[in-house]
A and B are shown apart, each in its own frame.
Chain A
Amino acid sequence: MAKYILKKIIDKHLIAFSLCAFIIISLTLITFLALANQFEWKAISNIINNHYSRYVISFTFWQATMSTIASICLAIPIARSLHRRHKFIGRNLILKFINLSFVLPAITLILGIIIIHGKNGWINNIIHKIFSTSFDYYLYGILGVIIGHLTFCLPLAVRILLNCLESIPQETWRLTTQLNLSSFNIFKIVEWPHLKSSTISVAILIFMMCFSSFAIVLSLGGGPAVTTLEVIIYQALKLDFDLPYATGLALIQLTICTILMFFLYKYNTPLFRPILFKDKYFERPDSKKLSALIIDILSILILFIITVMPIIAILTNGFNNKFLAVLYSAELWHSATQSLLISLCSGALTLSLAFGLTSGAFYIKYTLNKPKFAKYILLISNIRLMVPTFVFSTGLFIVLNNLIDIKNIYFILIIIMNSIAALPFATSIILPPSLEFSSQELYLCQSLDIKGWNFIKLIYWPRMRKSISYALALVITISWGDLGITALFNNTNLITLPYLLYNMMSSYYIEEAAVVALVILLSSFFLFWIIEELLGGEENVKA
């Protein structure tokens, strides 16, 4: 009886879900079908027999492994230090910054990294002044790729690990103080059990992100020796239009990433939760030692140099003598308008898809009563971490080319691809809290005859408002700053802000690029802030 009644509230969810799952799955299938008649098994054996592609595959593994190890090895001490120094003045600022790190567009950070680490960069200049020598081109190569990956992955890892440390109960700390454990033993006995599963899932996530890394490797790799599968797929499509080769490479990447993805879901941790700020802290027993103080200063300094400095570099370099000239150029405003249109559209599309998937999970959990299975709905949203973006978009382009006027294809395609890219973030923010309704609450709704639109308006929206506005702000800002597939299709009619920046950077117009980067950076913060402010509303919920 109860089950039957519950069905009534949520049967509409099933329709929305099936529609969205259908859209995503059929997009993927269409892509592969479009490429299937181009595909030959010979291509795979060609890839395996080719010296260079073997080298690229192994190098892709190598750089992803190195980046992951570097991120984790730095993130653990940094998270510990931030946890230990909860009174330190800049802490809140750094934590807020880490929370925002997803908003920062990759391409602007790359420019910041070049300003700091380039041949005429800050570090080389300092070294030159003190030792009158310089490291020259240390940036371009594997080191540059690792530095680039660290800039993105370190805040992510620190945030998740810090959240784990914060979840250790205060009583435990009281106990450790009484037991007088050494710092290492605190880590081994108290912290590691809390960190273990999160560390593994963060490591897998970072490995996947670095494995399919594109913009960083393309900009900082510095040539054919430092490259990834994703980059050579891009080159095969853009330069040779070699569909069999690209599809073969894509299948290899798909296989590897799908395996990794299932491991990731084995260790399921909430990866995108913002850091919680606590009011009360119990003083950690190891915070008074001098050695701890030195380690803390060092690790917070490293975090600052790696993640905050590129932003400072953009802020200081952006206001240069080209600032007004670029700001008044029609080019900038034209691309800003197009970017805005694209990011709003893809924001709306992403959120709709995320809601579709969420209602599916809702249905599976509450009506079918299979809560474990509901979690795996998230997998569908992660399609972009498995299928290489460029293969995806080329396949779709081939299909759309027979259906729509070519002038509109690029526009629609960018929106679709941006949405698929932002979908994992939106879903992982919206889905888990949507499943936190208790059955009692739902039965109560049922008995009060609150269903359909009323359920969403009176129950769902007030509770989910914060998460939804956070998700929307995040996905719109991500599309706003995402270089995405514009690099593949170089269409002169459709130039987004990040693509404008990319063009300026690849032509080495560093000053103009710095201005555009500054504009993107500030507008990203503004967009994020205004959307959260407008939609997020006040904390108090109407009764």
Chain B
Amino acid sequence: MKLSSLLFIFFFLIPSFLSAENTKRKLVIYSTKGFSVSWKNPKHPFKKQFEAECNCTVEFLALGGTSAILSKLMLEGKQSPADLVIGLDNNLIDKAEKLGLFTQHNLNMSNLTIPIKWDNQYLVPYDYGYLSFIYNSKKLKTPPSSIEDLANSPNIKIIMPDPRSSTLGLGLVAWIRLAYQERAVEIWQKLKQNIVTVTKSWSDGYNLFLKGEADMLLSYNSSPAYNMIAEDNYDIKAAEFSEGHYLQIELIGKLKLAKEPELADQFLSFVLSHSFQHSIPINNYMFPVIDIGEDLPKEYAKLFIPAKVFMTTPKQMQENRNLWIQEWLNTFSRK
């Protein structure tokens, strides 16, 4: 008797006690680890702002990479508590749509200022940037001028995220593939010498880069803005490559099985509002998707904008993603 009541307490009472909650409506947002810095920033409290507007509480759950979030949603199925997913991007549009997890947004996209026309019905852009390698110009005097140049300089050590867990890494794979077509395999064979380590996510690699464990880190052309604005450090630069740069657009989507669909809609509109967008360049250090005029910090004028832009279509990604990742994996399993 005693044992069974103890077990009851352990397995049911305590868990349900731990999960006791208040009665206010709650919007649950699954977010990537990369996005988590922006809502935690106390100086730019867009979370509080939205909570005041909607009279609800917003709960962000930082869950690692985009792929991990999609897997988690698949696993949780109908019981998933999530309403929105933030931190998706153009490399995974096809996958997100194929899973059938998202619902249409019904928002007007005409005032977007992103470099391409946006006509996706399911996912809403909230920021963008171009993939670039960043470096410390005090330490690395002559940065490579192209990916091929980098691959031919095995002494320049780089950190890249794993394309299987990070879409930034996937972006690099796509970038090299689009720029070099069939020669991509050959480029990777050489680039392998440059890679110090393959990290799970961008933020993992960033910490290593700060500790001086590599010369260059795969990031965005807007990343130096962070060092300029937050640290007054003008040494960190993004290298401009002659073959062009790959565009990444970050997206938010509303789930079909959202528990609070109205709140979710309200948040989607909020994402495209001036008050959310003006926090993007000073929080996420990416480019905002609407024109925010004077609110764009002057440091952004110092960043290069690539002359040539690469981008994959969802169809292209669907057909080639596994192929390209396999190609990348195979260069590692071949001695």
Contacts and interface: CB of A to CB of B under 8 A. Distances in A.
B330 A51 contact: yes
How big is chain B's contact interface, by range?
35 or more
Nearest to B69: A490
Contacts of A373: none
Interface string A113-128: 0000001000000000
A137 interface: yes
With most chain B CB atoms within 10 A of its CB, the pick from A241, A348, A411 is A241
A173 to B, nearest CB: 50
A492 B71 contact: no
B278 to A, nearest CB: 28
B242 interface: no
B75 interface: yes
A255 to B, nearest CB: 23
A348 B162 CA distance: 40
A140 B76 contact: no
Given A507-B203, A508-B207, A55 B76 contact: no
A224 B80 contact: no
Given A507-B207, A508-B211, A401 B76 contact: yes
Contacts of B68: 238-239, 490
Contacts of A59: 333
A137 B77 CA distance: 42
Given A137-B196, A137-B197, A223-B198, A506 B11 contact: no
Contacts of A509: 207
Interface in A39-71: 50-52, 55-56, 59
Contact of B333 (A224, A348, A401, A411): A224
- Say which size band chain A's interface belongs to: 35 or more
Nearest to A337: B18
Contacts of B111: none
B198 to A, nearest CB: 4
Contacts of B207: 507-509
B197 A55 contact: no
A467 B250 CA distance: 57
A287 interface: no
Interface in B186-232: 195-198, 200, 203-204, 207-208, 211, 213
B204 A345 contact: no
B329 interface: yes
B74 to A, nearest CB: 4
Contacts of B332: 223-225
A150 to B, nearest CB: 22
B98 to A, nearest CB: 12
Interface string A482-497: 0000000110110000
Contact of B62 (A239, A397, A492): A492
B140 interface: no
B304 interface: no
Contacts of B63: 490, 492
A489 B15 contact: no
Contacts of B49: none
Interface in A94-149: 119, 137, 140
A224 B329 contact: yes
Nearest to A136: B196
B14 interface: yes
Contact of B204 (A237, A407, A508): A508
A408 B211 CA distance: 40
B15 A222 contact: no
B11 A345 contact: yes
Interface string B1-45: 000001100111011100100000000000000000000000000
Contacts of A406: 76, 79-81
A436 interface: no
A235 B72 contact: no
A405 interface: yes
A331 to B, nearest CB: 13
Interface string A231-264: 0000101111100000000000000000000000
Given A223-B197, A508-B211, A239 B16 contact: no
B87 interface: no
Given A52-B333, A140-B197, A411-B15, A490 B204 contact: no
B75 A397 contact: yes
A412 interface: yes
A401 B71 contact: no
B204 A507 contact: yes
Contacts, number: 103
Nearest to A239: B67
A407 B28 CA distance: 14
Given A345-B10, A401-B76, A401-B79, A240 B15 contact: no
A341 interface: yes
A168 interface: no
Contact of B71 (A52, A239, A344, A398): A239
B254 interface: no
B107 interface: no
Contacts of B62: 492
A490 B10 contact: no
A394 interface: yes
A52 B19 contact: no
Contact of B165 (A239, A241, A493): A239
Given A52-B329, A406-B80, A241 B164 contact: no
B8 to A, nearest CB: 12
A493 B211 CA distance: 30
B20 to A, nearest CB: 10
A56 B7 CA distance: 42
Nearest to A119: B213
Nearest to B205: A508
B333 A55 contact: yes
A216 to B, nearest CB: 16
B332 to A, nearest CB: 4
Nearest to B95: A240
Q: Which of A238, A239, A408, A490 has the most B CB atoms < 10 Å from its CB?
A: A239
Contact of A407 (B19, B165, B198): B19
Contacts of A489: 72, 75
A222 B329 contact: no
Interface in A473-524: 489-490, 492-493, 506-509
A506 B204 contact: yes
A186 B332 CA distance: 47
Contact of B16 (A55, A119, A238, A408): A408
Contact of A225 (B80, B213, B333): B333
Interface string A211-233: 00000000000111100000000
Contact of A408 (B15, B203, B204, B326): B15
Contact of A52 (B6, B64, B75, B330): B330
B75 A398 contact: yes
B204 A341 contact: no
A508 B6 CA distance: 40
A240 B14 contact: no
11 contacts: A224-B332, A235-B164, A238-B71, A240-B71, A241-B74, A345-B11, A398-B75, A406-B80, A492-B63, A506-B204, A507-B204
Q: Closest 9 interchain pairs by CB? A: A241-B71, A508-B207, A406-B79, A55-B333, A223-B198, A239-B67, A225-B332, A407-B19, A241-B74
Interface of A: 50-52, 55-56, 59, 119, 137, 140, 222-225, 235, 237-241, 341, 344-345, 348, 394, 397-398, 401, 405-408, 411-412, 415, 489-490, 492-493, 506-509
Given A223-B195, A506-B200, 15 more contacts: A51-B326, A52-B326, A52-B333, A59-B333, A222-B198, A223-B162, A223-B198, A224-B162, A224-B198, A238-B71, A239-B67, A397-B75, A415-B11, A492-B61, A506-B204
